[in-house]
Amino acid sequence: MQTKQTKISFRLSVPVLAVLSMLSVAFYSCKNEDNPTTVTPAQTITDVVVANTNFTLLEAAVIRAGLANTLASAGPFTVFAPTDAAFQAAGFANAAAINAAPVATLSNILLYHVVSGSAVAAAAIPAGQTALPTAGTGNAPFFVTKAGTAVSVNGSRVTTADVKASNGVIHIIDKVLLPPAGTVLAIAQADTTLTYLTAAAIRGGTAVTSALAGTTSVTVFAPTNAAFRAAGFPTIAAVNAAPVATLTAVLTNHVVAPARAYSPTLVNGPVTTFGGGPVTVTLGSNNAVTLLSRGNGTNAANVTTADINATNGVVHKIDRVLLP
């Protein structure tokens, strides 16, 4: 599960344009599989966003953020564009919710969807995982993964690739990409449902906390407080009273390294954890993911919250401790 890293830089901005003149122009100017003739698109990326009825919340966010000119300029740009449904799933129910959000927050989220200086077609994305620096704060990268013809970015799947524009290309995605809020350890410390995990990591010592706050990419299946209680740790005091070796064995059975395994990249079958024990991944309907460790018998853990993005990896919350 190694990652392959490639550098491309990025920047975003979108003006408010009239819609009526665009409605007669076809939105999908990408290659038609039945008719390989490609027509040079007349619309800029801004025009495409404004004209498409599935991008009304993206358009509202761009306007609210004050990103007014760049996406209509020469570019070229690559934009991973969330649909209205993606924004709604991220908590933005409508344009009013977009307009109530802080401008700085929206700006950073939007810039995290954009790569500038290159129009990257799906066919040009290499197999495996590639880090692309974005226009977000500090050029924080997102991670594009290609397996066969399927492309995903962080935890979002590309549902329509290669929507061409005169100044770049759009790939439509099914989730809003959120910039990382900190390291895996910082994310656990800030989450009130992961206080037992944080206590276990601290009890495990510097080796554990350094790994969760380090620079090596890690995937962490993070048991919630309820999962720890169900595993026989009724309180944080019980966690702190457990032998360090026991906690270390348990914790390392939840970590895969070095790897950023976002949910679209998971496949059915065994995964070797940092502790050496196998954990079996099973993919179900509606993107459900379950995990089974040999110490759990037939009691599988369910991923309840997937793809929490960290600076040094990804966190998936689970409802059961994976016993080695």
- 56: helix, strand or coil: helix
CA within 13 Å, CB half, 71: 34
Between CA 33 and CA 28 the distance in angstroms is: 12
DSSP 31: P
**Average pLDDT score over residue span 229-246:** 97
Given CA atoms 10, 133, 268, 208 in this order, what sign does their dihedral have? negative
Q: What is the model's pLDDT at position 15? A: 37
- Pick 20-173's CATH classification: 2.30.180.10, 3.30.2000.20, 1.10.600.10, 3.40.50.300: 2.30.180.10
pLDDT tens digits for range 30-44: 334 444 444 455 798
Average pLDDT over all residues of the chain: 88
pLDDT for 255 beyond 90 = yes
77 backbone dihedrals φ, ψ, rounded to 5°: -130, 155
Domain residue spans of the chain = 20-173, 184-318
pLDDT tens digits for range 95-124: 999 999 999 999 999 999 999 889 999 999
pLDDT tens digits for range 195-209: 999 999 999 999 999
pLDDT for 7 beyond 90 = no
Between CA 312 and CA 258 the distance in angstroms is: 10
Q: Over pLDDT 70: what percentage of the chain?
A: 87
User: Would you say 15 and 46 are in contact if contact means Cβ atoms under 8 Å apart?
Assistant: yes
Q: What is the model's pLDDT at position 72? A: 84
pLDDT tens digits for range 56-102: 999 999 999 987 577 888 889 899 999 999 999 999 999 999 999 99
CATH class of 184-318: mainly beta
Q: What is the pTM of this model?
A: 0.85
pLDDT tens digits for range 154-211: 999 999 999 999 989 999 999 999 999 999 999 999 999 999 999 999 999 999 999 9
Q: Do domains 20-173 and 184-318 have the same CATH topology?
A: yes
Pair of tokens at residue 278? 């196998």
